[in-house]
Structure 1
Amino acid sequence: APVFCSEKYAGKGDDSFPVGSGAAWALCWTAEGAVARESYVNLIPTPAGGTHEAGLRQATLEAVRSFAEHHALLPKGVKLAAEDVFSRASFVLAVRMLDPSFQGQTKERLNSRDAVALVARMVRDSFELWLNERPEAAKRITELAVRAAQARTRAGQKVEKRKQSGVAILPGKLSDCQSEDTGRNEIFLVEGDSAGGSAKSGRDKELQAILPLRGKVLNTWEVEPGSLFANREVHDIAVALGIDPHAVSAPDAVLANLRYGKVVIMTDADVDGSHIRVLLCTLFYRHFPKLIARGHLYFAQPPLYRLDVPAQGKNRPPRKIYALDGGELEATIDRLRREGIRPEAVSISRFKGLGEMNPEQLWETTMSPDTRRLMRIRMPGAESAKPVMNMLMAKGESAGRRAWMEENGALIGAEI
């Protein structure tokens, strides 16, 4: 690793510092391993550092930041701090100054306020010149600083679950169930407040909990686990379920506190509903994979159509029949035709969304264990879905997504 060694002292006519005051230094950056740091003031060791080391940090920050900005090396949103530039730096610093002030009897730490400006001025310009004369070394130093800044930002964004007396607080919008039998309990993650209202009114309060979701859930494919709980919706889902983010290799014990045996995603049967399902599946596949692997995740299947069939004599009262999609609608009409019912006598209505259903309809078609149809979500083997999920959900994969959509557009259209 390149080493920056130099020294500089105030000369005659310097208006800021006494003649002969200044510093000598050696600086070196390494990508890994332990860092070594020593500092002295008038040959007195200062193992606890002090203001002269603060001046060295200030000078190196300003020089590296100036180089990085001039050469456009800073990623969007990254702002370098002294700790980022200095995190991988080793140095020896020897300062010469009049009347130094130390902390405590052992003189282990320099307190002189003038030392910050003294060292910063002596180091700053010569270090920036050194960086510009060695662009490759300067770029490596900048990359180390940028990596440290990004790690610091991620650590600062880490949000824990909100807790009270050591117990996670359940989200206020969760309508929980009464039973504590986690094997039988179910939670419905419902798109929108209106559908959530119908679901709350129509559910079995003993066993079924409702968590309404407002708007689109965050795309969490590239979100660090420590930053997940910064998003309110994701935080509420995790707290309601009672489990923490984990890796696919985690033991089954990560589900020990799971509060529901079935986690049911219930969205409208349209494109927006499909998008929300994909975003929720991304969340669970990326951050809660054991939930899928152990068979706890389901899709609800609300019907798209309702057929009102007229009465047929005294023994056949009027009927309501629900169809999941267009194919099932055609099959139902064919069956009714074979029963002697003219298709034109059947009134067909299409649901625009879950919010259009009253509580009784939602219970009968989508939530009642006796009449509903749930689709269980399975975990692909050996993470085989990871490349596909990355292509579909990663921010930098737009070109691959476009090519995939152009090739498979007809298939997608047929499915919708």
Structure 2
Amino acid sequence: MATRKSSSSYGEASIQVLTGLEPVKQRPGMYTRTQNPLQIVQEIIDNAADEALVGFGSKIIVTLHTDDSVSVEDDGRGIPFGAHPEEGELVLEIVFTRLHAGGKFSKDKGSAYTFSGGLHGVGASVTNALSKRFDVIVWRDGKVADISFSHGDVIRAPTIREANSRVDKKSGTRITTWPDSKYFDSINVPQSELRRLLRSKAVLLPGIEVVLIIEETGEQQSWKYGNGLRSYLLEGLAGYDMLIPLFEDERYAESSCITNTMFAKGEGASWVVAWVEEGPLLRESYVNLIPTPAGGTHEFGLRDGLFRALKSFIEIHNLRLKGVKVLAEDVFARVSFVLSAKVLDPQFQGQIKEQLNNRDVVRLISSLVRLSLELWLNRNVEHGRKLAELVIQRAQARTCVVQKVGKRKSCSVAILPGKLVDCESRDVTRNELFLVEGDSAGGSAKMGRDKEFQAILPLRGKILNTWETTRDRLFENNEVYNIAVAIGVNPHANNDVLDLSNMRYGKICILADADVDGLHIQVLLLTLFFRHFPQLIKRGHVYVARPPLFRVDTPARGKNPSKKLYALDESELKAIVDKLRKDSVPGAAWTISRFKGLGEMNSNQLWDTTMNPDIRRLIPVQLGCLDFDATIERMTMLVGKGEVAARRAWLEDKSNEVQGTI
């Protein structure tokens, strides 16, 4: 058992204030991937791409040098290097040595960057902090400026000279970074991933040349696409036949029927979509040129738009089959696509920007895609019929599988919990069970759910802490018994052969209030699943739903109706308020409410914010960096009944390392 260190003390002097780039050096994993330096190199590439995105520059050159350094050069406007009007220091030093310093905060008309992948003034500063050396050269306004850093500190002060027209370029920036090996598992930039990244930039920036030079081999490769997305997708699908011709278009707010104050002029997307009957699928999405490998709300919007347009086509042309219901997954199952969205104020999940979280983007992209595809299908009816036939066939096959599974399971008798509000579908892979805190929230969830595939099990209060409960006494607790019976899986150990033949839901979702009591209930349920149903976690069946903390009510303006906007936390609330201010909505015109619990939300609100698969925040529960035995030891310390002293000592020692909560 862990014991408190006698020498430990906690007082005013224990509080540390990290300044400058120290937070990055202390916790690099919060700001970038630490497997290799590709992400910190990408931050510099993204800055060059942002210049091209707003119409400056025609070429980006990336060089892998023999000394393990990487340089990125563009012919954009060049970073300003004069003194900052308020700070007094040179801008060239400020932007690389201070977090949240940059030119991409303002999105107002006339600002330096209306649309950009950079948001928070963090990326290049992180690269500097994690580099042994970091050199910058800027060409701008007939002058040349350069500066050098080491581990984020200036080692060679800025120098500024007059440009030599014979050897110096007119404008642009070159940044060279030597990643520090102590922050990364490997110092080598993976070339295959770098090539894919650079090619995607060329695809998304038609007419811009992107060059990769590898000094060690003398290799030079360049990409330039006049017809970007189409060419890229066709390359990826080479050798596979498409069911119908490519569906491609680009549409943006105020150039279509979308009129809404929450969509700024220029927001929208370009896309190219292909349906193939066999072979691997290519699916890539981007937001303001930033790759989003984990997808997000822009991909949900594409999926929803395709589904709604094709569903409408099937109904208009009377192609429906009795007893067969077409779902979005039937339409999307054989889709390959490249999607490039432009969003004024993108909200990403984490600094590495793998997933887009803006909820309104679902409606924006869905509306644009649906309108475009409906027009295309009605102009190309034969192609539409062929596509509808493929989708209906997939729906038939799925329905047959579900019916077979349902018949097999109906042979066994199961007495389900009385409070369980079950779903209609028997497709385990699609079905979801929400474990909801209390009858009040359970009632809202019941009314707001999609009854076809979402089931609700209200829980009475806080369940038992089952960490030290033996399996033979587990079912003495009624709530635990109901959960096990509803799921259809018996309690088991980590190494047991797991029987999932009676499992009834592919997703088990913990839905509790966004307060301290709700978090406590989450912990107790996670303790139950990890201790007594560990393989459900290992196989990815357990999730935590995240309801919003805030609601912002906005007034009607002109033809635009009043709205209710939801924020998961303080940062999202700030983004919403900033957007309203930029749209010139008076501060007195909107109101901010904080939810005390799920019981305060009506059914429509709960669906829109927490249960709608397209826009909800559903976090998969996964094992962290510890192995299973080490996790057992850690959990024993955290929830074991005899570990109070060890818990207190651990919290005092480790509380400063907490990066967030579930």
TM class by shorter chain equals 0.5 to 0.7
Q: Is 1:220 aligned to 2:466, yes or no? A: yes
Matches for 1:51-70 after TM superposition, within 5 Å:
none
1:353 equivalent among 569, 584, 597: 597
Q: 1:386 aligns with which of 616, 632, 651?
A: 632
Cα distance in 1 for partners of 2:650, 2:483 equals 31
Distance in 1 (CA, whole Å) between partners of 2:470 and 2:424 is: 34
1:53-202 maps to which residues of 2 (within 5 A)? 167-202=413-448
1:412 CA displacement: 6.1
Amino acid at match of 2:575: A
1:254 counterpart = 2:499: yes
The 2-side partners of 1:364 and 1:414 are apart by 24
Larger Rg: 1
Aligned residue among 351, 365, 378 for 2:609: 365
Tell me, yes or no, if the aligned pair for 1:188 and 1:208 is still in contact at 8 Å. yes
- Structure 1 partner of 2:520: 275
- Quote how far apart the aligned CAs of 1:376 are: 0.9
TM-score by length of 2: 0.36
CA distance in 1, matches of 2:602, 2:613: 18
Counterpart among 462, 486, 491 of residue 240 in structure 1 = 486
CA distance in 2, matches of 1:344, 1:405: 42
Deviation of residue 413 (structure 1)?
10
Question: Which residue of the other structure, out of 568, 572, 577, is the alignment partner of 1:324?
Answer: 568
- Name whichever structure is richer in helix by fraction: 1
Q: Distance in 2 between matches of 1:292 and 1:346?
A: 42
The offset of 1:415, in angstroms, is 4.6
2:577 aligns with 333
Residues 294-318 of structure 1: CA distance to partner in whole angstroms, max 9, x if unpaired? 111111111010001122322x321
Specify the SS of the correspondent of 2:468: coil
Decide which moves more: 354-363 or 324-333: 324-333
Measure how far apart 1:272 and its partner are: 0.3
Alignment correspondent of 1:124: none
Structure 1 residues 410 and 355: alpha-carbon distance in aligned structure 2, compared to 1, 3 A threshold? farther
- 1:341 is displaced (CA, Å) by 2.0
Deviation at 1:211, TM superposition (A): 0.3
Report the AA paired with residue 581 of structure 2. R
Match of 2:121 in 1: none
Structure number with greater CO (CA < 8 Å, separation at least 6) is 1
Give the aligned length: 250
What SS does the corresponding residue of 2:580 show, helix, strand or coil? helix
User: For residues 260 and 397 of structure 1, what CA distance do their matches in structure 2 show?
Assistant: 35
| Counterpart AA for 1:349 | S
Distance, in Å, in 2 between the alignment partners of 1:403 and 1:328 is: 34
Aligned partner of 2:291 in structure 1 is: none
1: CA distance, partners of 2:444 / 2:512: 13
* 2:446 is the counterpart of 1:210: no
- Residue of structure 2 equivalent to 1:284: 529
Task: Report how far residue 411 of structure 1 moved.
Answer: 6.1
Match of 2:643 in 1: 397
* Matched letter for residue 475 of structure 2: F
Query: How far does the alpha carbon of each residue in 1:105-134 deviate from its partner, in whole angstroms, 9 at most, with x for none?
Result: xxxxxxxxxxxxxxxxxxxxxxxxxxxxxx
> How far did residue 414 of structure 1 move?
7.0
CA gap of 1:396–1:313, structure 2 versus 1, over 3 A, is same
Q: Residues of 2 paired with 1:194 and 1:413: CA distance?
A: 32
Distance 1:240 1:327, change over 3 A: same
**1:89-148: per-residue Cα shift (whole Å, max 9, x none)?**
xxxxxxxxxxxxxxxxxxxxxxxxxxxxxxxxxxxxxxxxxxxxxxxxxxxxxxxxxxxx
Spell out, residue by residue over 1:147-181, the C-alpha distance to the aligned partner (whole angstroms, 9 max, x if none): xxxxxxxxxxxxxxxxxx97331110101111111
Does the 8 Å contact 1:246/1:254 carry over to 2? no
Take 2:653 and 2:588, find their aligned partners in 1: how far apart are those partners?
A: 39
Give the deviation of 1:280 after TM superposition: 0.3
Q: Report whether the alignment pairs 1:376 with 2:620.
A: yes
| Cα distance in structure 2, aligned partners of 1:250 and 1:415 | 31
Alignment correspondent of 2:378: none
3-state SS of paired residue (1:222): coil
Q: Secondary structure at the match of 2:467?
A: coil
SS of 1:264's partner is: strand
Query: What is the rounded CA distance, in whole Å, between the counterparts of 1:409 and 1:273 in structure 2?
Result: 20
Q: Could you tell me which residue of structure 2 aligns to residue 263 of structure 1?
A: 508
**How far is the alpha carbon of 1:343 from its aligned partner?**
3.1
Identity %: 60
Compared CA separation, residues 411 and 317, structure 1 to 2 (3 A): farther
C-alpha displacement of 1:250: 2.3
**Partner Cα separation in structure 1 for residue 572 and residue 428 of structure 2:** 34
Pick the aligned partner of 2:552 from 285, 288, 307.
Answer: 307
User: What secondary structure sits across from 1:268 in the alignment?
Assistant: coil
Matched position secondary structure for 1:187: strand
Distance 1:413 1:184, change over 3 A: closer
Q: TM-score, with normalisation over the residues of structure 1?
A: 0.57
Residue 234 of structure 1 aligns with an amino acid whose one-letter code is V
Seen in structure 2, the aligned counterparts of structure 1 residues 247 and 413 have a Cα distance that, compared at 3 Å, is closer
